[in-house]
Amino acid sequence: MLTRIDHIGIACFDLDRTVEFYRATYGFTVFHTEVNEEQGVREAMLKINETSDGGASYLQLLEPIREDSPVAKWLAKNGEGVHHIAFGTADVDSEAARIGERGVRVLYDEPRTGSMGSRITFLHPKDCHGVLTELVTAAGPPPGE
């Protein structure tokens, strides 16, 4: 079962400049940063709020660290902006299987490691009305909580 909007991923060319925009404009602060070599990105998670299921909702700002990363390719084609939406679930494996049984293509055979040690997979945007959709199971309580 999907429990919340976990995050909205926003692709950007300059992470530091984009973080500063969200700080200065909306007052958001960085909750977590990391480099995800597997995904080829440097990222910042900006925490928006807590949710009733104990999770949180975030904006995830993504800057590619290499030209062959999916985010770099997306930026080259589309420019900066909303890259994907991610839904939280207690069990990414069973949720991906359930959705896959309904004819939606799941992009990874096995979930991969995402932000803050989470387990993630993506659903094909052509099967989701043009929206790249991520499924996320949090690793546990976020750092600092």
Residues taking part in catalysis: 7, 43, 60, 84, 134
Q: What strands, in cross-sheet order, belong to the sheet with 30-36?
A: 30-36, 41-50, 56-64, 2-11, 81-89, 133-137, 119-123, 112-113
d(CA 78, CA 60): 17
Task: Specify whether the CB–CB gap between 70 and 83 falls below 8 A.
Answer: no
Nearest in space to 59 (alpha carbons), one of 34, 35, 30, 38: 30
